[in-house]
Chains A and B, each alone.
Chain A
Amino acid sequence: LAKTTQPISMDSYEGQEVNITCSHNNIATNDYITWYQQFPSQGPRFIIQGYKTKVTNEVASLFIPADRKSSTLSLPRVSLSDTAVYYCLVGDNQAGTALIFGKGTTLSVSS
């Protein structure tokens, strides 16, 4: 499975856009890039998934360059409730490999 590297922590203020970048230099051809969010004492929650270019949903956008060796999760206009741990993962679900989580990025949003 491709290893991912992301910042341990980030700080932001309410109303700002937050971009969390993840490196995955040895991503395989069939791997997808997936992001999860986790609040304390809760299970992780799926945010977004993509393969290439840009994916957007009601929560976030995911930008993936052509070489796919990195990706950026973009959270528009964060609020205090976006304070959480964000995990970047890569893998091939069709092949049956389970997601392997790293330590994630702890995002702290202040007022």
Chain B
Amino acid sequence: DTGVSQDPRHKITKRGQNVTFRCDPISEHNRLYWYRQTLGQGPEFLTYFQNEAQLEKSRLLSDRFSAERPKGSFSTLEIQRTEQGDSAMYLCASGWTGGGYGYTFGSGTRLTVV
């Protein structure tokens, strides 16, 4: 068990560019969650998957945000046409159906849009 891995750890991009983040969950976990966190705020829920099915995506911030989890393994979060307001920490967590709320979070990807 190597924990939840997120890549990259830091990303600086110019406004208007597309970015993609990757999350590798704990292999035994069937659920995967994406959160966004800005300074001084708690993590903000974006979307989650159970296996490969995206069960909740209404909280994705706009249609510029999309997530995938092909084959129920790793997941990607893409932001198209980035804006300065997208600058934040993007966190991934994994868990399993019978595990209560004992999610395991990754260390996050810090995005800076300039």
Which A residues contact B (CB, under 8 angstroms)?
32, 34, 41-46, 49, 85, 87, 89, 91, 93-94, 96, 98-104
Contacts and interface: CB of A to CB of B under 8 A. Distances in A.
B43 A101 contact: yes
Given A44-B105, A45-B105, A94 B44 contact: no
Contacts of B33: 98-99
A44 B43 contact: yes
Interface residues of B, number: 29
A34 B101 contact: yes
B108 interface: yes
A43 B93 contact: yes
Contacts of A102: 42
B85 interface: no
A30 to B, nearest CB: 12
Interface in B43-75: 43-45, 48, 50, 55-56
Contacts of B41: 103
Given A43-B106, A43-B108, A85-B42, 12 more contacts: A34-B100, A34-B102, A42-B108, A43-B91, A46-B102, A49-B101, A49-B102, A96-B50, A96-B56, A99-B45, A101-B43, A103-B42
